[in-house]
Amino acid sequence: MGIFRKLRNAGRVILEMVNFYIALAQVWQKNQNRAVTSQKTSGQYFSFSFRHCKPPAPVLEFSQFIQRMAEYKVQFEVFEGPLDLLLYLIKKEEVDIYEVNLTRLATQFIEYIDLMRQFDLEIAGEFLVMASTLMYIKSRELLPVDQQVQVEGEEEGEDPRWELIRQLVEYKKFKDAAARLQVLEAEQENIFPRLPGKLEFESAAPPPRPDVSIFDLLNAVNGVLQRFTRREDQGDIFEDKWIVSEKIEVILRVISGRGSMRFAELFERAASRSEVVCTFLALLELIRLRQLVCSQPEAFGEIEIRLAAPPAETPATPEPAAAPASEPVAAAETNPQSAIPKSQSESHGT
């Protein structure tokens, strides 16, 4: 039982696929020589593109069988609405808008709507409104004037035919105007303005880089320290694994290699609060020694650390670090790039 149902379902799927290909091949056949193209644009109700649509090889063998099947009338252009479709129909009739036969137009319009229905295209409400207007016009023409129902409030002079024609003419004019705009648009793509380079008579000053105050740095390091507020047990006492002089070396090594680094990078690998403090003290020390410069290119931006410009004067008399460091740092006054003797820095310890 179950197997049968599965087989039947599978058969149905295959049948549907075949039907789909047949329809596709028909459509393709009809449009082989016809340039039915469409652009993918917003606001279109339906669009077909057959130009690149090639039927799969096995379907070609079906083609003769297909030709005998019910004829498909595919001659879709892209219509942007009922007025557009009406204009197209009028153009096909090759008559002036003013002289168009609205009753015949109504018939053709409704044929198109039926066609759309065959394709399972969603018919927009505007098309149905237009269809009903056309039907109304057509029905009015079948009645002598004195038997026509006068709609209350409608003026004597208001002829629905005239209303429609007026709307069509107006729409046509704007459609033409749109075409002219399109020409202008295409033309603009080929027009190039003369853009002379900037005349430089003065040496352009580098953009100002506002310096960073000690408070900015403290704020920044506070942000980093937030990471460690909960993690550490305050009760225990650890031996100090980090010393400022070591960190000075690390910072200088990185910066001399790269030229600059971001503030946050300094602390990316910091594992503990004491390490952050230590790194920060090293940074402050290097700034004090005018080895490094901190700047903030934009407000609330990342603080940037760079090597200072060639020092105008080497700090001759290093003061003992006033910061609450556990180990005051031996200033690397003469030769900062070279390793600072660790023993020296430790010997200064309290």
Residues found near another protein in the complex (CB under 8 A): 39, 41-45, 78, 80-84, 98-104, 124, 126, 130, 140-146, 148, 159, 161-162, 165-167, 169-171, 173-175, 177-182, 184-196, 198-199
- In the complex, minimum distance from the CB of residue 139 to another protein, in angstroms, rounded to a whole number: 11
> And the tokens for 143?
């009645």
State the DSSP string of 303-332. -EEEEPSS-SS---SPPPP-S--SSPPPP-
145 vs 299, which CB is nearer to another protein? Answer: 145
Q: Are 75 and 36 in contact (CB under 8 A)?
A: yes
- In the complex, minimum distance from the CB of residue 203 to another protein, in angstroms, rounded to a whole number: 19
102 vs 332, which CB is nearer to another protein? Answer: 102
- In the complex, minimum distance from the CB of residue 94 to another protein, in angstroms, rounded to a whole number: 17
CB-count exposure of residue 152 (10 Å: 0-12, 13-18, 19+) = exposed
92 vs 104, which CB is nearer to another protein? Answer: 104
User: Residue 91, SS3?
Assistant: helix
3 vs 191, which CB is nearer to another protein? Answer: 191
- In the complex, minimum distance from the CB of residue 98 to another protein, in angstroms, rounded to a whole number: 4
Residue 110: closest CA among 149, 136, 91: 136
- In the complex, minimum distance from the CB of residue 188 to another protein, in angstroms, rounded to a whole number: 5
- In the complex, minimum distance from the CB of residue 54 to another protein, in angstroms, rounded to a whole number: 26
80 vs 232, which CB is nearer to another protein? Answer: 80
79 vs 267, which CB is nearer to another protein? Answer: 79
Spatial distance between the Cα atoms of 225 and 266, rounded to a whole number of angstroms? 12
- In the complex, minimum distance from the CB of residue 115 to another protein, in angstroms, rounded to a whole number: 19
51 vs 209, which CB is nearer to another protein? Answer: 51
> And the tokens for 55?
């039927």
27 vs 102, which CB is nearer to another protein? Answer: 102
5 vs 198, which CB is nearer to another protein? Answer: 198
> And the tokens for 233?
């047990």
User: In sequence order, which residues have a C-beta less than 8 Å from that of residue 245 and are 6 or more positions away?
Assistant: 282, 327, 329, 330, 332, 340, 342, 345
- In the complex, minimum distance from the CB of residue 176 to another protein, in angstroms, rounded to a whole number: 8
> And the tokens for 39?
């652009």
- In the complex, minimum distance from the CB of residue 192 to another protein, in angstroms, rounded to a whole number: 5
User: In sequence order, which residues have a C-beta less than 8 Å from that of residue 101 and are 6 or more positions away?
Assistant: 93, 95
102 vs 221, which CB is nearer to another protein? Answer: 102
Q: Are 278 and 244 in contact (CB under 8 A)?
A: yes
- In the complex, minimum distance from the CB of residue 96 to another protein, in angstroms, rounded to a whole number: 9
- Tokens 């040496």 locate to 203
User: In sequence order, which residues have a C-beta less than 8 Å from that of residue 123 and are 6 or more positions away?
Assistant: 45, 113, 116, 117
Residue 25: closest CA among 69, 1, 70, 56: 56
* Per-residue exposure over 12-41, b if at least 16 CB sit within 10 Å of its own CB, e if not: eeeeeeeeebbebbbbbbbbeeeebeeeee
Spatial distance between the Cα atoms of 48 and 94, rounded to a whole number of angstroms? 25
